[in-house]
Structure 1
Amino acid sequence: MGGGGQVDVEVASNANVALYTLFSVGGLIAGGIVNIIGPRIAMAIGASTYALYAGSLLSYNHNQNRGFVISAGAILGFGAALVWTGQGAILTSYPSERNKGKYIGIFWAIFNTGAVLGSILPLALNWHSTAGSVNDGTYIGFLILMIFGSLSALALLPPSRVFHTDGHPVQVQKFPTWKTESAEIIKLFLDWKMIALSPMFLASNWFYAYQFNDVNAAYFNVRTRAFNNLWYWFFQILGATGFGIFLDAAFLTRPKRALYGLVILFASIMVTWAGGLAFQLKYTRNDNKEDKDKRDLFESGYVGELILYLSYGLNDAMYQCYAYWIMGALTNDPSKLSRYNGFYKAVQSAGAAISWRIDAVGASFISQLLVCWALLIVSIPGMFAVARKVRDTCYDSEGIDNEVVTARTEEKE
């Protein structure tokens, strides 16, 4: 909803700077932690920090304690690194190669179903609100859901008990030492594929500060912000599901899917952000308005603005799905994918920290839009270079008989 649902978006922006700074640092070591203690414990610990952050915003409703919100944001940053690195490793290593796109789409659909429900909650509780910030019930509802989510992570099976749909067990290495894991993490900075994908990683969360604060919070009133979010996340479900299915399309080889998927993604980026530029020319940061004077969903012309906002969500889902899919196309090894995902989240969060700080210091809306768009375009060449190296399978190079795997999969299906 922008600004953490608050009138004062600056405190949430600064909390996000702390969050993503710690997320970036945590991402570099989270792969090693997940490899050593396992995804179940890592994700349960990490998820508990989301509840702390929701609680800090509830507290802010009463005492305006900025320090608590910012500190909770920093703690959440490290916790989020554990959650997202653990889920990224599971997401890219558990499915068989022919199902990775589908599983990524399913994950993103479930993930954004939570966001849709999370948008319905403030929409229902703040439908008649004129306060400009959400009420206590909104934060209490999130707090309860987040505590439940943290505990649910304990239900995950350990990787050693997980099998692919083709009947082949997930590759599990014995727990590495900290020295070994540290050396492997350092090697990521020398891996040309990670370097080439770094612009993509950097851009992948950069646009959130602009979309949530400078579009949603700056232009729309509180109930319309919640309504916008409902559709933003719902179209993420559609985008992730559809794009995930395409990335598994059996009538195309995997190298062709990598390249054609990139073409589709580039076209989506150009159309969406061109529309965003046309919209942004309608208002500036200097047009400070009280909530009652902001755009409402029942006003004429709102539908076109909603289409743009849900297009941002559709674009985001496709971009994130492609990032996971391209990493998953490089290897099936869970330990490598833990490090890849940790590196991805580290670079992604560094970009997010910078973008939230740029917004917090008052950069113009139009300049932020142009930077977001430029970063997305700049990321394409590196993605193309890696996409050209995608092969039909990694099984042969990882000591697995691809013909046996294929036969088992077809027999099971």
Structure 2
Amino acid sequence: MTDLKAVVPHTHEDPPSTAVEGTSEPLLPWWKRVWCHSLTQMILLSVQAFCGPAMSDAITGLGGGGLASPQVSNISNAIRYAMLAVVCFLGGPIVNKIGVKWALVIGSLSFPIQGSAYYCNSKFGNQWYLILSGAIGGIGTACWYVAEAGAIMTLAPSGARGKYLALWIVSRNLGQLVGGAINLAKNSKDGADGGVTPDTFIAFVIIECIALPFALLIIPFEHVVRSDGTRIVTAETLSSRMELRRIAKTITSKLIMLSALWALWSFFYSGSWSTYLADYFSVRARALSSLISPFFCIIGCFGLGFILDMKGMSQRRRAQIGLYTVVILNIGVYIWSIIMQVKFDRYDPGNIDWNDGLYATSFLPYFFVQTTGPLSQSYMYWLLSSFATDAQENVRNGAAFRCIEAIGQAIAYGMNTQTSSSPLVGFCVTFGLLGAALLPMIMLVNTTPDQIPADVIAEEQNAANAKLPVEEP
């Protein structure tokens, strides 16, 4: 039986920072109250996202990983996301067994492998390590991704999930800003061509190494106290056999089946846009693109967060408004990108530099997709968390969703391993996936509960616990 004391939320009248009347629970020191606060834990997680996935995205944002030829980079990324898909499929049982903290630690240890592999390729022409790093990094990062997905959907109080998710998604996209600044500082000379300088990747490796100490500061869910004073609902630890059975139940659930195409689509754009940058932009133009792309993303993600957290509106209505906002913005971006690529197929513009007249119109679709893409992901994790009954279910749902995401990314990069292929194919496939995902998502959104099931359970447990007699000391 689940220990109710471990999962019963604290009320505003009975905060965890004070001793509970009738018990010998000691006062917690201020540093421990800060450490156990949900916002602190979200910030620790966001720092890791910045050091790991954000740096990976920054390397991708250099176009072909910053290499003179994007082919080997695309092969490495295809292998990376294929391994991610396999490990994420089993990620729910793994993370629920070893705990979120240690899954994050394993993942953070794998982050520097990618940056070091790009350095070795750029410096010594070592391609085998770059390809191998895709496999090794994919396994470690998958553990981190599953733990991250469960955490971001669990930590936030119900009334601030949109803003918490915005903080996370912005931290991931700030990597593009830092990566672009590093690359621009080292590759700003006019006329630079081919790959970026090897020293650029050393800076990435250093930042990737910083994730580990922050992963070690993560605490178990049952010790976290949310900003509204509530505790996180956790379930009993299941046996390995039961966890494996839950995989099939999760994958075949209505929640995952209806969101599967959205998951496949949500990151599909990355492979085509990486090739687009490598094929048509100079090194310093790519660097500038990576530097300025995240700025609008910050505004967009927090804007969506405020919409999803609006008071006086049912959760289902907020889910519907959020979906239509994300879809309309994405449709505009994909139509623009397809138009630009059709023009480039007719007339090759060569390496577009930032002082070329064509730079603005050819870069703006990439600029906006760096906002609409993260908006799509932030929205989906908010929606998934609206159906969860406990923290472990969030981990399983996050693992399933991440598995399908990774399959989409593996296919996208696989499509772009042939450098002679036009990104137009990827753009059209991505646009088609959005259209295919729309109807199932509308069906899912229309079934969104008006209150998170985990919150309902917490309230029931809190009410039951309040009726228990208080033992005299």
- Amino acid in structure 2 at the alignment position of 1:300: G
Match of 1:333? 390
Structure 1's 217 and 285: CA in aligned 2 closer, same or farther, altered over 3 A?
farther
> Aligned residue for 1:401?
459
Evaluate the alpha carbon distance shift between residue 169 and residue 123 of structure 1 in structure 2; reply closer, same or farther with a 3 A threshold.
same
1:242 match = 303
CA distance in 1, matches of 2:271, 2:340: 17
Cα deviation code 1:243-290 (max 9, x no counterpart): 111111113211111111111112111111111122112213994x8x
Write 1 or 2 for the structure with the bigger share of helix. 1
Query: In the superposition, relative to structure 1, how do residues 226 and 332 fare at CA in structure 2: closer, same or farther (>3 Å)?
Result: farther
Aligned pairs (5 A) from 1:125-144: 125-128=186-189, 130-144=192-206
Q: How many residues align?
A: 400
One of 281, 302, 312 as aligned partner of 1:220: 281
Cα distance in structure 2, aligned partners of 1:156 and 1:281:
48
Aligned partners of 1:393 and 1:48: how far apart in 2? Answer: 38
Matches within 5 A, 1:48-127: 48-127=109-188
Paired-residue identity, %: 23
Greater Rg, structure 1 or structure 2?
2
Aligned amino acid, residue 334 of structure 1: A
**Judging changes above 3 Å, is the alpha-carbon distance between structure 1 residues 395 and 354 closer, same or farther for their aligned structure 2 residues?**
closer
Identify the residue that residue 322 of structure 1 maps to in structure 2.
379
Contact map agreement 2:285 2:352 (CA 8 A) in 1: yes
Kept after mapping to 1: 8 A contact 2:193/2:282: no
On the 8 A contact 2:176/2:293 being kept in 1, the answer is no
After TM superposition, list the pairs within 5 Å mapping 1:216-365 onto structure 2. 216-284=277-345, 287=348, 293-361=350-418, 362-365=420-423
Whether 2:441 is the aligned partner of 1:378: answer: no
The answer to whether 1:191 aligns with 2:253 is: yes
User: Taking structure 1 as reference, are residues 79 and 235 closer, same or farther at Cα in structure 2, changes over 3 Å only?
Assistant: farther
Compare 165-174 and 51-60 and name the one that shifted more.
165-174
Q: TM-score with structure 2 length normalisation? A: 0.81
Give the C-alpha shift of residue 376 in structure 1.
Answer: 1.3
Please say if residues 81 and 406 of structure 2, whose CA atoms lie closer than 8 Å, have aligned partners that are also in contact: yes
**CA positional deviation for 1:180:** 1.3
RMSD of the alignment, in Å? 2.0
SS at 1:46 equivalent: helix
Instruction: Give the residue type in structure 2 aligned to 1:179.
Output: R
Distance 2:101 2:353 in 1: 43
State the AA in 2 paired with 1:187.
K
CA deviation map 1:305-358 (0-9, x unaligned): 332221111111211111111101111511001011111111111111111111
Deviation (angstroms), 1:114: 2.7
* 3-state DSSP of counterpart to 1:156: coil
TM-score relative to the length of structure 1: 0.92
Matched residue type, 1:111: R
- Tell me the CA shift for residue 115 of structure 1: 2.6
> Which 5+ residue runs of structure 1 have no aligned equivalent?
406-413
**Residues 1:203 and 2:265 aligned together:** yes
The answer on 1:150 being equivalent to 2:212 is yes
**1:226 shift after superposition:** 1.2
